[in-house]
Amino acid sequence: MNKSELIKKIAEGANITKASAILALDSFIKSITTELASSGEVALVGFGTHKVNDRAARTGRNPQMGAELQIAASKASVFKAGKALKDVVNC
């Protein structure tokens, strides 16, 4: 499912216009992005948790040349599915 298909489903499910669904989805995405950018966490009970994890600096290897290289420390957005979502997916 892509974004336009999701917007259509939201509009139908909430009985709202597609324009309203676009605003709702964009606001939802912006809210999650803003919270993660400030190293926060977004927990939706039954669905899952979005949070930011720190990745330590490490030594990697160039697969073509085999030479070692330093990979800088970074942050990564991660999603952990909640129990209800896992149960639905694993039916």
Dihedral sign for Cα 43, 44, 45, 49, please: negative
Q: Which helix (H) or strand (E) holds 83?
A: helix 83-89
pLDDT tens by residue, 57-91 = 999 999 998 899 999 999 999 999 999 999 999 98
Report the distance separating Cα 43 and Cα 35, nearest Å: 11
Is domain 3-89 annotated with CATH 1.20.58.760? no
| Domain boundaries defined on the chain | 3-89
So what's the pLDDT on residue 22?
Answer: 97
